[in-house]
Amino acid sequence: MSGKLTELEKLLIPVVEALGYRCWGIEFLSQGRHSLLRVYIDHPEGVSVEACATVSRQASAVLDVEDPISGDYTLEVSSPGMDRPLFTLEHYAAYVGEQAKIRLRAPYEGRRNFQGVIRGVEGDEVVLQVEDHEYLLPIDSIDKSHIVPRF
């Protein structure tokens, strides 16, 4: 995890939790002079547009005071949704048996993209079943991943 992301988590997780929500995860995409900061919030009863707006206002106030991001950025606050992104080992453990798409930072066995069933967590690795093969993917090598929703 980058130092910038760690800094943003230290600032924003307490804000989200103080408002009664769970911080599902934070993405920071530095795109030259304009960056994107995305905060995912969750709640057992769901997340409304009003909840996102409330968290956005509070997070903006903290970000304005602390000023951790140089240059222009866009702040987005949203629910993780049905195709929720997975950030932590705890997320993977909670979704054992579900389909997931995982993209790695660097190729593993000649590929970066995997889609399969989450079988569990072993140490700091995610166990992913892709057809007849199980892969152990270190959490630190995962760039992005999300649940594949069932309809």
Mean pLDDT by 10 residues, the chain (151 residues): 87 97 95 90 96 97 92 94 96 98 95 97 98 96 96 86
CATH 2.30.30.100 fits 89-147, yes or no: yes
* pLDDT of the residue at 31: 79
What residues does each domain of the chain span?
A: 3-78, 89-147
Query: Using an 8 Å Cβ cutoff, are 108 and 58 in contact?
Result: no
State if pTM tops 0.75.
yes
Residue 91: φ, ψ to 5°: -60, -45
Distance of alpha carbon 24 from alpha carbon 133, whole angstroms: 29
CA distance 63 to 110: 40
Which amino acid belongs to residue 59?
A: A
Res 1: pLDDT: 57
Nearest to 101 by CA among 68, 125, 58, 130: 130
Q: Does domain 3-78 have CATH number 3.30.300.70?
A: yes
